[in-house]
């Protein structure tokens, strides 16, 4: 729920708003709901809550000086289920509507255009043969809203992220029967030039030189599922921690990271040559030989939110795309983004000079672009603002859930044979929630029938 934007009317009342937002379950003695109020410092607030139990109804009071604001009290007619409640909605069309999911997502159309049809029997055989033990792959089948998996390759730890989003989706909505392969590695895999006999592979990172089907990154997805829990940096928390206003930001460009790509080494060298223009340093050395005379010492991590003390954020590829871009965009600094063959699920909707300032992949014009930004402060500020708007409008949790669901739905519609539970697959179980078990009225009703 967003309150505002109505900055002037509510001026000086931040504290009052904070003290007067209450969420209760009218039918219960206790309400186990965690509430956070995030002040975006532009006159708008995000109020978010995480429930630890399910309730019949929730009532939300928002008051300033004892008076209800806008249409407060808001009643959420339930039942309102908590995240771990396994209570999928049968009617996925209604779910998509309630979630305000977009009708079509351009990146999904582009990715699936390479696959006029998908034959589960064929890919179940061919993909393991082709990529087999050399790559880290997960073979999933979702059947009657239950998830089955078989892993291929040695390093399959990252499957927890994929399991988590699939489990979360199947708790919320009935998923189509679908069979697919997820690449757990960094690099996209389907590099065939011709369009003959392409294999559909889901990856967290796409590239202009491959035909993998992109999904929101595990990092962004995890921050959605674990929001107000294990994860502290997410697309909402970042909005309340964007540092000083534009005018008061430090005009040295900033970057921190590890040495996962040659251009990053170049950036740090550039910074050491022009320390007044760029402050770039390594927090870790792993891939290359650490020559301290060239790259300086390893420095301590700075908190992500501290990046926003700086006006100019440099986004440069790591192994593949740098997965911090969503959070950088959500701040109120301007992003300078390296041209790159790699992209996340939303990059193709971003426009250079509108949402970010582009620079060449070899960094040859980075200093010029920084100078441009300094000479065109108002334009740079507007780019920062558009980038932020983009993040607020396209990269929030509900949109990530929409993206995944639509992706599986449209992929499933291309299948020309039945998805099957294959030999060697095991079931991925929903986590036990002993502490706050949930009664799903949808399931109960069905059982009674
Ligand atoms: C801005 O940041 C740079 C690099 O981190 C630092 O050296 C400089 O002192 C800062 N400037 C101000 C005005 O704080």
Residue spans in the chain of domains classed CATH 3.40.50.2000: 238-395
Take residue 356 and report the two structure tokens written for it.
């970010």
Residues with CB under 6 A from ligand 1: 250, 252, 279
CA-closest residue to ligand 1 atom 12: 250
CA–centroid distance, residue 44 to ligand 1 (Å): 30
Query: What's the number of CA atoms in the CB half-sphere (13 Å) around residue 304?
Result: 19
Residue 30: pLDDT band by 50, 70, 90 thresholds?
confident
CA–centroid distance, residue 390 to ligand 1 (Å): 29
Take residue 27 and report the two structure tokens written for it.
């039918």
CA–centroid distance, residue 256 to ligand 1 (Å): 15
Average pLDDT in the 62-73 region? 87
Rounded to the nearest 10°, the torsion over CA 330, 333, 336, 342 is -10
Residue 172: pLDDT band by 50, 70, 90 thresholds?
very high
Q: What is the mean pLDDT of the chain?
A: 91
Lowest mean pLDDT among 82-91, 306-315, 430-439: 430-439
Average pLDDT in the 380-402 region? 97
CA–centroid distance, residue 275 to ligand 1 (Å): 10
Of 9 and 17, more confident:
17
CA–centroid distance, residue 332 to ligand 1 (Å): 18
Alpha-carbon gap, residue 356 to 386, rounded angstroms: 8
Query: What's the number of CA atoms in the CB half-sphere (13 Å) around residue 394?
Result: 22
pLDDT of res. 432: 83
Q: With respect to CATH, is domain 10-85 assigned 2.60.40.10?
A: yes
Highest mean pLDDT, choosing among 58-67, 227-236, 364-373: 364-373
Alpha-carbon gap, residue 17 to 331, rounded angstroms: 23
CA-closest residue to ligand 1 atom 5: 279
Of 363 and 22, more confident:
363
pLDDT above 80 (res 377): yes
Q: Are strands 202-203 and 206-207 parallel, antiparallel or unpaired?
A: unpaired
Among 274, 279, 299, 333, which residue has the most ligand 1 atoms within 8 Å of its CB, making it the best to mutate?
279
Residue 6: pLDDT band by 50, 70, 90 thresholds?
very low
Average pLDDT in the 143-149 region? 98
Percent of the chain at pLDDT above 90?
76
Cβ atoms of residues 86 and 440 within 8 Å: yes
Residue 444: pLDDT band by 50, 70, 90 thresholds?
low
CA-closest residue to ligand 1 atom 13: 250
Sign (positive or negative) of CA dihedral 158, 135, 216, 168: negative
CA–centroid distance, residue 250 to ligand 1 (Å): 6
Q: Which of 228, 238, 214 is nearest to 328 (CA)?
A: 238
Average pLDDT in the 200-221 region? 97
Alpha-carbon gap, residue 131 to 205, rounded angstroms: 17
State the architecture of 238-395 in CATH terms: 3-Layer(aba) Sandwich (3.40)
Alpha-carbon gap, residue 10 to 230, rounded angstroms: 32
pLDDT of res. 93: 97
pLDDT tens digits along 279-338: 999 999 999 999 999 999 999 999 999 999 999 999 999 999 999 999 999 999 999 999
Average pLDDT in the 349-372 region? 98
pLDDT above 90 (res 448): no
pLDDT of res. 436: 75
CA-closest residue to ligand 1 atom 14: 250
Among 252, 271, 333, which residue has the most ligand 1 atoms within 8 Å of its CB, making it the best to mutate?
252
Residue spans in the chain of domains classed CATH 2.60.40.10: 10-85
CA–centroid distance, residue 252 to ligand 1 (Å): 7
CA–centroid distance, residue 281 to ligand 1 (Å): 14
CA-closest residue to ligand 1 atom 3: 252
pLDDT of res. 445: 53
pLDDT above 70 (res 17): no
What atom of ligand 1 comes closest to residue 251's alpha carbon? 1
Cβ atoms of residues 19 and 56 within 8 Å: no
């Amino acid at each position: 729920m967003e309150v505002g934007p109505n900055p002037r009317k509510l001026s000086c009342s931040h504290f009052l708003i904070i003290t007067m937002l209450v969420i209760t379950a009218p039918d219960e003695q206790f309400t186990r709901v965690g509430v956070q109020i995030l002040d975006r410092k532009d006159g708008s607030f995000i109020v978010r809550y995480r429930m630890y139990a399910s309730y019949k109804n929730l009532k939300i009071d928002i008051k300033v000086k004892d008076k209800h604001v806008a249409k407060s009290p808001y009643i959420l007619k339930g039942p309102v289920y908590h995240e771990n409640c396994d209570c999928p909605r049968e009617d996925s069309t209604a779910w998509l509507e309630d979630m305000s999911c977009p009708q079509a997502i351009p990146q999904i159309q582009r990715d699936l255009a390479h696959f006029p049809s998908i034959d589960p029997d064929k890919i179940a055989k061919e993909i393991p043969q082709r990529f087999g033990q050399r790559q880290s792959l997960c073979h999933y089948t979702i059947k009657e809203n239950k998830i089955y998996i078989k892993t291929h390759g040695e390093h399959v730890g990252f499957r927890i992220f994929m399991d988590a989003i699939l489990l979360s989706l199947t708790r919320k909505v009935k998923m189509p029967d679908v069979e697919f392969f997820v690449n757990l590695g960094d690099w996209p895999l389907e590099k065939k030039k011709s369009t003959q006999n392409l294999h559909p592979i889901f990856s967290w990172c796409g590239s202009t030189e491959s035909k993998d089907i992109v999904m929101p990154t595990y990092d962004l997805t995890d921050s959605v599922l674990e929001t107000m829990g294990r994860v502290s940096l997410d697309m909402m928390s970042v909005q309340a921690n964007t540092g000083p206003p534009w005018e008061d930001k430090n005009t040295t460009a900033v970057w921190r990271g590890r040495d996962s790509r040659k251009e990053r080494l170049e950036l740090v060298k550039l910074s050491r040559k022009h320390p007044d223009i760029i402050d770039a340093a390594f927090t870790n050395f792993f891939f290359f030989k650490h020559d301290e005379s060239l790259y300086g010492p390893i420095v301590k991590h700075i908190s992500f939110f501290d990046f926003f003390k700086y006006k100019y954020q440099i986004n440069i590829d790591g192994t593949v795309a740098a997965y911090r871009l969503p959070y950088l965009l959500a701040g109120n600094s301007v992003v300078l983004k390296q041209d790159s063959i790699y992209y996340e699920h939303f990059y193709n909707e971003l426009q250079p000079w509108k949402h970010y300032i582009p620079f060449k992949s070899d960094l040859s014009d980075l200093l010029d672009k920084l100078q441009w930004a300094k000479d065109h402060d108002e334009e740079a500020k507007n780019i920062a603002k558009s980038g932020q708007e983009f993040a607020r409008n396209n990269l929030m949790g509900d949109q990530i859930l929409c993206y995944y669901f639509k992706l599986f739905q449209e992929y499933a519609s291309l299948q020309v044979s039945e998805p099957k539970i294959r030999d060697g697959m095991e079931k991925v179980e929903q986590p036990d929630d002993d502490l706050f078990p949930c009664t799903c009225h949808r399931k109960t009703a069905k059982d009674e029938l």
